[in-house]
Chains A and B, each alone.
Chain A
């Protein structure tokens, strides 16, 4: 019907109707070879055309030709469906991860502690952990699995369990990393590494003690001098490389309004659209501009600034944690 109309009147309207019909056929999973067969039958029915045998035979050839296309189309549809269900599964896994690794920021008089962690994909390979009890101590661990996405995220549950077994907020940071290193070394594949910064704040003495397993140096902000310093004195191997590693720790005394800022490489290795890396000074300037905000707002503001710096294309998981002495 549509075809005979078009053969009589070659109008755009008839083509439009034809295309509407084809959309309908696609929805109903009608294969290309069937479409040609429908076409062929229609041609044969329109007597006045005087179809020659050669033309009819050529359509048979085309039918044969289209079968592989039909199969490819069908397969494509199935693969798209599979992809959708896989995405759905990943979303569920991300939810499970969020519940499992949920971190509650600690409450301690005189200090304000907060953090922000934003994954690049659906699942986060960065992790912030707080060791908090009724003592005057609070422990904070910031870990980053080398790599990102699902494997990194799965690895994090192990780090969390390891940290849970440590139990006390007063535990020494170097000891915490020693223990975690043993756990990670035993349980993960050789090609998976975790960097981690572990710090402990002693509220009674206002002393921050820290150790690092190949992690980005944290920043110390001295309010009196209005200056930032890298906390890079205690450097150690990434977790999981060697079985028996002993980490070193260092301490620093905090005064009022001093801050410790712990980050992952999703912060320090930001790049612009043109592949230019963020310099340490640029990062420090960004933080300096918002240094008077509360730790939560500060983390958020730095995230916003870096989002812009990267032209809104975040490539790695972002994590920034702030400890600020407020009294």
Chain B
């Protein structure tokens, strides 16, 4: 399975990650609206890395499981980690602080969402959207 990766250091790397995600989504066969959704989700994750962890990476690739085909995005950083995962996944938390859609938004745009995080060690978020 071919995967490509972008490291996130500057704000322009967010654009590179979006670009990569959109073209991968297109290649896999997602429609225009889903392409835009996947790109938005990647954008949010990359922005979180840029804003809170300062550096990390976004890895994007075609993903197959149980006969289903989709796209998988892994956003990883060695930043401060998230202390209260429940809180950041709560609706209204990030948007009420003017931070945009936040993780609940990402979760909603995709089909699968997984988060591993440890304070002081970093965060790894894996998201999948299936081709339906």
Q: Which residues of A are interface residues toward B (Cβ below 8 A)?
A: 33-34, 37, 40, 60, 63-64, 67-68, 71-72, 74-75, 78-79, 82
Contact = CB atoms under 8 A, between A and B. Distances in A.
11 contacts: A37-B32, A40-B32, A60-B32, A64-B40, A67-B37, A68-B40, A68-B101, A71-B105, A74-B108, A75-B91, A75-B95
Interface extent on B, as a size class?
A: 10 to 19
Contact of B105 (A63, A75, A79): A75
B36 interface: yes
A78 B93 CA distance: 13
Nearest to A34: B33
B100 interface: yes
A37 B101 CA distance: 21
List the 5 closest pairs (A to B, CB-CB), nearest first: A71-B101, A71-B105, A37-B33, A67-B40, A78-B91
B95 A67 contact: no
A78 B95 CA distance: 13
B104 interface: yes
B109 interface: yes
B92 interface: yes
Nearest to A40: B32
Contacts of B32: 37, 40, 60, 63
Contacts of A64: 36, 39-40
Nearest to B22: A64
Nearest to B37: A67
A33 B108 contact: no
Contacts of A34: 33
Nearest to B41: A67
Given A37-B32, A68-B101, 9 more contacts: A64-B39, A67-B40, A68-B100, A71-B101, A72-B95, A74-B108, A75-B92, A75-B95, A82-B91
A33 B109 CA distance: 12
A82 B96 CA distance: 15
Max chain A Cβ within 10 angstroms of own Cβ: one of B36, B39, B105: B36
Contacts of B101: 68, 71-72, 75
A76 B31 CA distance: 26
Contacts of B40: 64, 67-68
Contacts of A67: 36-37, 40, 109
A75 B36 contact: no
Interface in B11-53: 31-33, 36-37, 39-40
Interface string B68-95: 0000000000000000000000011001
Given A78-B91, A79-B92, A71 B33 contact: no
A40 B31 CA distance: 13
Contacts of A71: 101, 105, 108-109
A82 to B, nearest CB: 7
A62 B104 CA distance: 22
A78 B32 CA distance: 26
A68 B101 CA distance: 7
Nearest to A74: B108
A75 B108 CA distance: 10
A75 B102 CA distance: 11
A82 B91 CA distance: 10
